[in-house]
Homo-oligomer: A and B are copies of this chain.
Amino acid sequence: MGEFELIDRFFLRPGRPAAEGVALGVGDDCALLAPTPGQQLAISSDMLLEGRHFLPTVDPDSLGHKALAVNLSDLAACGARPLAFTLALALPAADEAWLAAFSRGLFALADAHGCTLAGGDTTRGPLAICITVFGEVPTGQALLRSGARPGDDIWVSGTLGDARLALEALRGGLALPPAMLASVRERMDRPVPRLALGQALRGIASAAIDVSDGLLGDLGHLLRRSGAGATLDTVAAQALLAARRLPDAAALPDAATQLEYVLAGGDDYELAFTAPADRRGDVEAAAATCATPVTRIGRVDTEPGVRLVGDGARADRPYRSFDHFG
């Protein structure tokens, strides 16, 4: 199977109508996008490498899902609606079973969000996946990192720390009951981009970011861009670990380790966002319309840095977020 047959068989999908706004997709030198008048184009790009962003044992269907999901999560954090994506793929070999499963996982998520594959590149090499995603957001309404103000509430969507728990278990660092491992591994392999919530928060949230490298690190970026600091409630944070609600919760590591996974676990792909305290009802209503749980975990204040209050915070733990060159 040559390069062009590979593209034809697994990625071209003839007969499917191009999404609105995509004038020309795969098969020319460039894709052509025609954004709706009055909308800005939101763009994000992420590269995933084997051994760095996913384990060699990941199933390719989940990998196809995750490669697009981590990019869609950036659109979610801007409040953008997905439109299209490009895929650049380096593969050690043209393995048909792998390609069939990878493209199935990729397109299942793309189709669920009306996001069209508009172009790309394939090459032989160590497994690497680079996706660039395009979304639309009404001009001036994108959620940015820079809008948080002292007194704003700090919220997070969904749950945090379970992907890190799965990673530690798969690396052999701790033992988990099989049912719990399956549950948290699903969380690591198939993150759910919070697209509906991001769009519902336009006009309500003052700032937003997606949590990919760990809550404290990513919230830190948001706070620095906003010229502010924060105080977080560790009791509320600790409850964000979904595995605590599983029947085998007694098998979990100690509370301080759980808190570390929540605060600095990474690979969560949830939204952390801020909103004025008088918009609590609007935040809860927005979350309810898209059936996405949200939890209020702290408050923006003027002093730079993040302070932890409540049980479980240990000053001797550094809570370092993920840094690829740290």
A residues lining the B interface (CB < 8 Å)? 1-4, 6, 23-24, 27-35, 37, 40-47, 49, 51-53, 74-75, 77-78, 80, 86-91, 93-94, 118-126, 128, 130, 132, 134-135, 137, 139, 142, 144-146, 208-210, 225, 323-326
Contacts and interface: CB of A to CB of B under 8 A. Distances in A.
A90 B47 contact: yes
Most B CB contacts (10 A, CB to CB) among A29, A93, A120 go to A29
A74 B44 contact: no
A29 B326 contact: no
Given A23-B40, A34-B41, 12 more contacts: A2-B323, A6-B325, A28-B146, A30-B74, A45-B130, A47-B121, A47-B130, A49-B90, A49-B123, A52-B125, A86-B132, A123-B324
A132 B24 CA distance: 16
Q: Which 6 A-B pairs have the closest CB atoms?
A: A130-B130, A47-B88, A29-B77, A30-B42, A45-B86, A132-B132
A323 B35 CA distance: 34
A184 to B, nearest CB: 24
A269 to B, nearest CB: 11
Nearest to A120: B45
Contact of A1 (B32, B53, B325): B325
Most B CB contacts (10 A, CB to CB) among A49, A77, A89, A132 go to A132
A193 B114 CA distance: 33
